[in-house]
């Protein structure tokens, strides 16, 4: 049997349950710096800065 990969929060090191938590992806403006990402539990992700982003696929009305 394959061993289940356990996701651990990069902030508090607690285990993140299946279907919970979030992945934070940081992309540098300077492309040479690449990007990095962190796995977060629900608690830590809600305490981080950032704002809700609209889902892709629909353009704002003002553009038409
Ligand atoms: Zn956490």
Contact 47, 38 (CB under 8 A): no
Between the CA of 6 and the centroid of ligand 1 the distance, in Å, is 14
In the structure, what pLDDT confidence band is assigned to residue 55 with cuts at 50, 70 and 90?
Answer: confident
Does the predicted model carry a pTM greater than 0.75? no
In the structure, what pLDDT confidence band is assigned to residue 64 with cuts at 50, 70 and 90?
Answer: low
What are the structural domain ranges in the chain? 1-48
The alpha-helical segments, DSSP class H, found in 1-64 are 42-46
Q: Pick from 37, 50, 36: which is nearest to 9 by CA?
A: 37
Q: Pick from 13, 6, 34, 10: which is nearest to 23 by CA?
A: 10
Residues with CB in 5 Å of ion ligand 1? 9, 11-12, 41, 44
- In this prediction, residues 29-57 reach a mean pLDDT of 90
* Distance between CA atoms of residues 44 and 35, nearest Å: 20
For residue range 4-13, list pLDDT tens digits in order: 788 999 999 9
């Amino acid at each position: 049997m394959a061993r289940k990969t356990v996701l651990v929060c990069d902030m508090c090191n607690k285990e993140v349950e299946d279907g919970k938590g979030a992945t934070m992806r940081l992309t540098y403006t300077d492309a040479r710096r690449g990007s990095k990402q962190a796995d977060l539990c629900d608690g830590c992700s809600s305490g981080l800065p950032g704002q809700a982003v609209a889902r892709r696929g629909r353009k704002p009305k003002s553009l038409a």
